[in-house]
C-alpha cells in the first residue's frame, strides 16, 4: 500500500478561496473498488488509458479516501467521514480498505475531532458515511452538526430493493438520536463561502459542496476563487467524460444531466475541483474542454 496512510495538505499549501475560505485535503486512507463497478459500461479499453488505473489481481483500482477540511468564518467544516471504525474485517478485505477512520486520520495529522463544527456527508454509502459514529455508536465528532440532504435520509429509510443494505441507515439514526443531524432541503449556506447543493444522480439525495463566496454574500468576482467538491457524482479525474456513469449510480440519466451542467461551468469559469477518491497528490485541479468537446485536466 502506498505511503502515507494518513496525510493533510501542509499549511503552506492550503488554498484560500473568495471570502477567506481555506481548504486542505485530509487523506484518510485507501480502498480498492471493483474496476468494473467503478466504470460501469465504459469499456476497459477507454478507462485504462488513464494513468493510475492499473488494477490488482482481483480487478480492483487503488483509490483514496479524501476528506476536505474547510475553515471559514471561524468554523471548521469536514466534508465526508470515510469508511469508519465499524467495518467487519471480511468487508475490509473485500473492499481493500486501509485506514478509513476519520477520527484516527484527524488525530494522526494533529487535529482534534471535537474542533469540527459541521460534517457534510455527500451521501450515505459506506465509504462516505461509514465514519459518522465510532465503534461504540457515538458520533465521531461530538460538537458537529451532520449535514445530509433530506432526500437522502428518506431514501435510506425507504423500501427500494436496490438500496437495501447499501446505505448507512443505522449510523444515520444514531446521529439523529444524539440530536446532531441537520437535514437540509436544497442549496444551503453552512457558513459564509461554503454551500451544499443537491445533485442527485449517484444517489437520490447526493450533494456537492460549493466554495467561494465574496464577503458580503456576493459571488466571487474572479470565478477562479471558487471550488467544487463533487462527491461521487465525479469521484476521480478519470470520470470527467460527462456520459461515463458508474454501476453504483442509482440514477445514471440524472447523473449525466447534472454533470453536463457542472463540468462545462467548472471548465469555463476556472473552478478548482476536488475529487473524493482521486489518488493523485496534485489536487485540486482545474479542467478544460478539448477541441473535440470532451473535458480533461488543465495543464499547470
Distance of CA 243 to the CA centre of its chain: 19
Q: Please tell me the predicted confidence (pLDDT) of residue 160.
A: 84
What pLDDT, in 10s, does the model give residues 155-190? 999 988 678 789 999 999 999 999 999 999 999 999
Distance CA 97, CA 94 (A): 8
Residues 226/18, Cβ–Cβ less than 8 Å: yes
Angle at 81 between CA 17 and CA 251, to 5 degrees: 90
Q: Please tell me the predicted confidence (pLDDT) of residue 290.
A: 93
Q: Please tell me the predicted confidence (pLDDT) of residue 215.
A: 40
Distance of CA 143 to the CA centre of its chain: 21
Can you spell out the DSSP letters for the chain? -PSPSSEE--GGG-EEETTTEEEEEEEEEEE--BHHHHHTTS-HHHHTTSTT----TTSB--EEEEEEEEEETTEEEEE---S-S---HHHHHHTT-EE--HHHHHHHTT--GGG--EEE-S--SHHHHTTSB-TTSSBSSTTPEEEEEHHHHHHHTS--GGGTTTS-HHHHHHHHHTT-EEEE-S-EEEETTEEEEE--SSSTT-EEEEE-B-TTSPBPSSGGG-EEE-GGGS-SGGG-STT---TT-SSHHHHHHHHHHHHHHHHHHT-EEE-TT---SS-SB-EEE-TTS-EEEPP-
Distance CA 26, CA 79 (A): 10
- Pairing mode, if any, of strands 118-120 and 75-79? parallel
What pLDDT, in 10s, does the model give residues 213-257? 544 444 545 656 899 999 999 999 999 999 999 999 999 999 999
pLDDT beneath 70, residues of the chain: 1-2, 161, 213-224
Contacts of 102 (CB under 8 A, 6+ apart): 26, 28, 67, 78, 80, 81, 82, 84, 113, 131, 140
Going along the chain from its start, the domains and CATH numbers come out as: 7-297 (3.60.15.10)
Q: Please tell me the predicted confidence (pLDDT) of residue 192.
A: 92
- Pairing mode, if any, of strands 194-198 and 207-211? antiparallel
Q: Please tell me the predicted confidence (pLDDT) of residue 216.
A: 41
Distance CA 178, CA 136 (A): 13
Amino acid at each position: 500500500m502506498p505511503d502515507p496512510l494518513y496525510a493533510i495538505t501542509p499549511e503552506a499549501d492550503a488554498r484560500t478561496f473568495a471570502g477567506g475560505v481555506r481548504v486542505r485535503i485530509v487523506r484518510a486512507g485507501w480502498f480498492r473498488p471493483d474496476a468494473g463497478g467503478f466504470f460501469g459500461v465504459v469499456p476497459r479499453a477507454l478507462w485504462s488509458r488513464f494513468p493510475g488505473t492499473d488494477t490488482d489481481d482481483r480487478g480492483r483500482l487503488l483509490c483514496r479516501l479524501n476528506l476536505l477540511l474547510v475553515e471559514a468564518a471561524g468554523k471548521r467544516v469536514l466534508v465526508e467521514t470515510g469508511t469508519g471504525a465499524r467495518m467487519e474485517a471480511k468487508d475490509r478485505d473485500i473492499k481493500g480498505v486501509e485506514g478509513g477512520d476519520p477520527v484516527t486520520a484527524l488525530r494522526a495529522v494533529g487535529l482534534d475531532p471535537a474542533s469540527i463544527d459541521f460534517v457534510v456527508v455527500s451521501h450515505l454509502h459506506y465509504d462516505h458515511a461509514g465514519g459518522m459514529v465510532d465503534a461504540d455508536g457515538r458520533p465521531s465528532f461530538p460538537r458537529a452538526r451532520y449535514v445530509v440532504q433530506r432526500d437522502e435520509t428518506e431514501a435510506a429509510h425507504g423500501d427500494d430493493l436496490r438500496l437495501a443494505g447499501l446505505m448507512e441507515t443505522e449510523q444515520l439514526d444514531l446521529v439523529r438520536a444524539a440530536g446532531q443531524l441537520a437535514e437540509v432541503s436544497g442549496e444551503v449556506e453552512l457558513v459564509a463561502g461554503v454551500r451544499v447543493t443537491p445533485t442527485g444522480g449517484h444517489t437520490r439525495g447526493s450533494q456537492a459542496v460549493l466554495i467561494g463566496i465574496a464577503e458580503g454574500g456576493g459571488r466571487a468576482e474572479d470565478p477562479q476563487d471558487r471550488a467544487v467538491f463533487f462527491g461521487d457524482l465525479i469521484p476521480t479525474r478519470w470520470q470527467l467524460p460527462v456520459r461515463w456513469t458508474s454501476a453504483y449510480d442509482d440514477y445514471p440519466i440524472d447523473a449525466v444531466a447534472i454533470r453536463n451542467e457542472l463540468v462545462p461551468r467548472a471548465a469555463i469559469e476556472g473552478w478548482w475541483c476536488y475529487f473524493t477518491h482521486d489518488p493523485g497528490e496534485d489536487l485540486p485541479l482545474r479542467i478544460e474542454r478539448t477541441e473535440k468537446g470532451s473535458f480533461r485536466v488543465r495543464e499547470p
